[in-house]
Amino acid sequence: MANVLPYRPKAGEIPTDPGVYRFRDAAGRVLYVGKAKNLRARLSNYFAPLHTLHERTRRMVTTAASVEWTVVPTDVDSLQLEYMWIKEFDPPFNVRYRDDKSYPFMAITLGDEAPRVIVTRNRRISGAKYFGPYPKVWAVHETIDLMIKVFPIRTCSDSSYKKAMASGRPCFPGQIGRCGGPCSMKVTIEEHRAIVDDFVAFMAGGDQRFARDLTARMREASAAMDYESAALYRDKLQAIDAVLNKSALVLDDAMDADLFGIAEDELAAAVQHFVVRGGRIRGVRATTIEKEIDIAGADLVDQVLQRAYGDAAAADIPRHVFVPSMPEGADELEQWLQDRRGRRVTIQVAQRGRKADLMKTASINAQQALMLHKTRRTSDYVARSQALTDLQEALDLPEAPLRIEGYDVSHLSGTNVVASLVVFEDGLPRKDQYRIFGVAETTDDTDSMYQVLTRRLAHLDHPDEADEPVPDATADGEVVTTRKRPRFAYRPQLLVVDGGKPQVDAAARALADAGHSEIPLCGIAKRLEEVWLPGEEYPVILPRTSEALYLLQRLRDEAHRFAIVHQRKRRKRDITSVLAEVPGLGDARIKALLRHFGSVASLKQATPEQIQELPGVGPRLADAIHRHLSSG
C-alpha cells in the first residue's frame, strides 16, 4: 500500500475558506460528505501518512479515487449544505441511523378537514402533529381517554366521519360521548378546529392556563349555584391533573428543552433524546448509529443534532438543547437552529442541578440501549438456536455450527498487518479464546488471510503442548491437578472471513493446502451483506430479518472491533516510540502532549508555537518535536 494517495491535491490547491467536501470512488459514487471551517486544515488530516489514520478512515480514503470541495460564504452555510448532501447521496461512510420504531405515538391529523387523534407507529402521515413516543400502546389510549374529557375532539375513523356527515346522524363514538367532532352535530368545523388547537397547545407544553381557566369557571359556576356545570369543570380539572401527573416535573415548569444522552463504542452509538416540554418529559426517542468512519464525542454530537432537527418543524425545536459535550461548530449549529425556529436557541452542556441529573438518566438509558443493540437476541436461547439452524440450512452444512471462528485483516501500514480471530460458541462470544495475529510480510489482504489461516490450521494437526497444570479446589479442600485442553485444538465447525469472493478463495486455498477442506467456510461482504461460499459464482442472500444473518453480522463486527482495539494500542505505542527518540522528551511530557492535542494527527499538524503552549515545553524542544514528526 502506497503511503501517499494518488489523488491528493497539490499544496496550495485547497482553499482555507469554509466549505463542504466529498470523497468519491472510481465510479463517481459519493463515499463521504463532511464540512469544515477551514477546508485545507481539515482535508490535510485525511492525507496524513496512512499508518497514522484510523483504520476505517484509512479504508475510506483508499477506497476513494477523488476528492472535491465547494466553498461557501459562512460556516452555517456549510452545515446546511452538508446536511442536504448527506440526505441526497446517503454516503456509505457517513454515520447510519436506525430509529427505534417500536414505540407508539399520539398523532393529531391536522391536515384533515376535521382533525382526529389516533394512536399510530407511522411517522409519515401528511400534516400530522406527533406526541410521544409512549412506552406502551395502552399508555397512549389512557392519555387520549383523559384528554378528550377536556378537549372533545374527533376520534372516529374517516369512513365513519364521512358517513355521519352525509347522513346527518352522529357516528357511534359520538353517540356514546367518545367523539366530539362535527359528526357529533354538537360543534361546527371551525369550533372543532379551535378545540383541536387547544388540545395541541396543551400537549405541546402542558399549558397551565387551561387549569387556571377551568378553576375560575368552576368557582364561578359554584358561586352561581350551577353545581351541574361546576361538577363538569371539576371532572375536567381532574383529567388535566391526571395527565400532568403521569409525567413528573423534572425541570422548571416553564422549561422547554431537548436532552441528548449518547453512549458509544468503536462501531456503534446509541442516542436517547428526551423531549421536555413545560418541565415534563413528553417523549423519548431512541436512535442507534452505525459508524463507518472514525467519529466520536463532539463530532458525533454535531451529526446527531443535524439528524434530529434537519427536517423538524419550527414548533418542534426547543429553546434549550442539552448535550453531553459541545460540538466544534456549536455557534453555527445554534445559528442554524435559530434560523429554523425563528427564535433564539442555545446549545449547552448540562453540568449541575436537575439538568445534570436528567442528562445522567438519559446517558444511562443510552448505555443500556447500546448494550441491547450489541447483544440483542443473544440472551434468547430459542433465537440463538434458530440462528444456528438457519445458518446450517442456508450454507448447506452437515451440522449446526456450534463453534464458529471469525477473521478480519487490518492494515496498520504498508507492510505491518494484523488479523483478529474471534470465537463464538452456541451463538455467544468466547472472549478468552480471541487472538491477534501479526503478519510480518504480505502482498495484499488475500495473502494475509492465507497466511493467518495456514498458521491457525497448523494447530489442528500439531497442537501446542498442554498448558501448565491448573489446581482445582474441591469441596473437601483436596487439590486435584487437571490439564487444560491445548490451545487451538478445538476444530471449528464454520470459518467466517470478513470480505467477498477474493478473501473466501484465499481462505479456501489455505484450507486445501492444510488438508482441511472438510471445514465449512464462508465470507460476509459488508456493503451488501452478501454471504460468499468457496467456488460459487454468486453469493447467498439471506433475508435482512434472518437470525442467521444477524449472527454473521455480530461475528464480523466483533472481529472488526477487536482488531480496532488492538490497532489503537499499537498506534499509541508507535507514536510513543517515535516521540521517545526526541532528546529531552520523557514519558510524562509525551503523555501530556498526546492528552493536550487529543490525537496524533492534531499533534503532527501543530506548529512549534502551538507545541510550545504546553507547560514545560520551550522553543528549542518544541522545534525539535516538530522537526522530528515532520521528517517521519
Q: How confident is the model at residue 372 (pLDDT cuts 50, 70, 90)?
A: confident
DSSP, residue by residue, 229-256:
HHHHHHHHHHHHHHHHHTS-B-S-TT--
State the amino acid at position 515 in one-letter form: G
Does position 485 have pLDDT exceeding 90, yes or no? no
Note the pLDDT of residue 563. 80
Residue with the larger pLDDT of the pair 415 and 500 = 500
Note the pLDDT of residue 104. 78
Does position 475 have pLDDT exceeding 80, yes or no? no
Domain positions in the chain are: 19-94, 105-205, 257-374, 381-567, 581-631
The 8-class DSSP code of residue 321 comes to E
Cβ–Cβ < 8 Å for 178, 148: yes
Q: How confident is the model at residue 290 (pLDDT cuts 50, 70, 90)?
A: confident
Return the CATH architecture of domain 381-567. Answer: 2-Layer Sandwich (3.30)
Q: How confident is the model at residue 521 (pLDDT cuts 50, 70, 90)?
A: very high
Does position 473 have pLDDT exceeding 50, yes or no? no
Residue with the larger pLDDT of the pair 470 and 178 = 178
Note the pLDDT of residue 67. 92
Cis peptide before 133 (omega within 30 of 0): yes
Give me the residue label for grid cell 461460499: 533
DSSP three-state, residue 154: strand
Does position 303 have pLDDT exceeding 90, yes or no? no
Residue with the larger pLDDT of the pair 476 and 216 = 216
Cβ–Cβ < 8 Å for 311, 238: no
Cβ–Cβ < 8 Å for 534, 508: yes
Q: How confident is the model at residue 206 (pLDDT cuts 50, 70, 90)?
A: low
Does position 248 have pLDDT exceeding 60, yes or no? no
Q: Which helix (H) or strand (E) holds 579?
A: helix 547-580
Q: What is the mean pLDDT of residues 521-540?
A: 82
Per-residue pLDDT tens digits for 329-342: 788 889 999 988 88
Q: What is the mean pLDDT of residues 263-286?
A: 80
Per-residue pLDDT tens digits for 582-623: 776 777 777 777 667 665 566 777 788 887 777 777 888 888
Q: Which helix (H) or strand (E) holds 220?
A: helix 208-223
Q: How confident is the model at residue 320 (pLDDT cuts 50, 70, 90)?
A: very high
Note the pLDDT of residue 162. 85
Q: What is the mean pLDDT of residues 244-256?
A: 66
To the question of domain 581-631 being in CATH 1.10.150.20, the answer is: yes
Task: Please provide the average confidence, as pLDDT, over all residues in the chain.
Answer: 79
For 51, residues 6+ apart whose C-beta sits below 8 A from its C-beta are: 3, 412, 413, 414, 416, 571, 574
Residue with the larger pLDDT of the pair 108 and 442 = 108
Note the pLDDT of residue 522. 93
Does position 21 have pLDDT exceeding 90, yes or no? yes
For 524, residues 6+ apart whose C-beta sits below 8 A from its C-beta are: 496, 497, 498, 499, 530, 531, 532, 552, 553, 556
Does position 260 have pLDDT exceeding 70, yes or no? yes
Per-residue pLDDT tens digits for 39-89: 988 888 888 887 777 767 887 888 889 999 999 888 888 888 888 888 888
Q: How confident is the model at residue 462 (pLDDT cuts 50, 70, 90)?
A: low
d(CA 207, CA 254): 9
Note the pLDDT of residue 217. 76
User: Which region among 162-166, 255-259, 263-267 has the lowest average model confidence (pLDDT)?
Assistant: 263-267
Residue with the larger pLDDT of the pair 98 and 108 = 108
Does position 365 have pLDDT exceeding 70, yes or no? yes
Note the pLDDT of residue 314. 83
428-429 and 530-532 strand pairing? unpaired
Q: What is the mean pLDDT of residues 444-473?
A: 69
Q: Please provide the CATH number assigned to the domain covering 257-374.
A: 3.30.420
Q: What topology is assigned to 19-94 in CATH?
A: GIY-YIG endonuclease (3.40.1440)
Note the pLDDT of residue 285. 79
- Phi-psi label, residue 98: left if phi above 0, alpha if psi -120 to 50, beta otherwise: beta
Per-residue pLDDT tens digits for 167-188: 878 887 777 777 777 887 778 8
Q: What is the mean pLDDT of residues 491-519?
A: 90
The 8-class DSSP code of residue 51 comes to G
Q: What is the mean pLDDT of residues 347-375?
A: 84
Q: What is the mean pLDDT of residues 410-425?
A: 74
End-to-end CA distance of the chain: 17
Note the pLDDT of residue 406. 92
d(CA 396, CA 415): 37
Does position 572 have pLDDT exceeding 90, yes or no? no
Note the pLDDT of residue 472. 43
Examine domains 19-94 and 257-374 and report if their fold is the same.
Answer: no
Note the pLDDT of residue 1. 45
Most confident range, picked from 9-18, 440-449, 603-612: 9-18
Q: How confident is the model at residue 247 (pLDDT cuts 50, 70, 90)?
A: low
Note the pLDDT of residue 23. 94
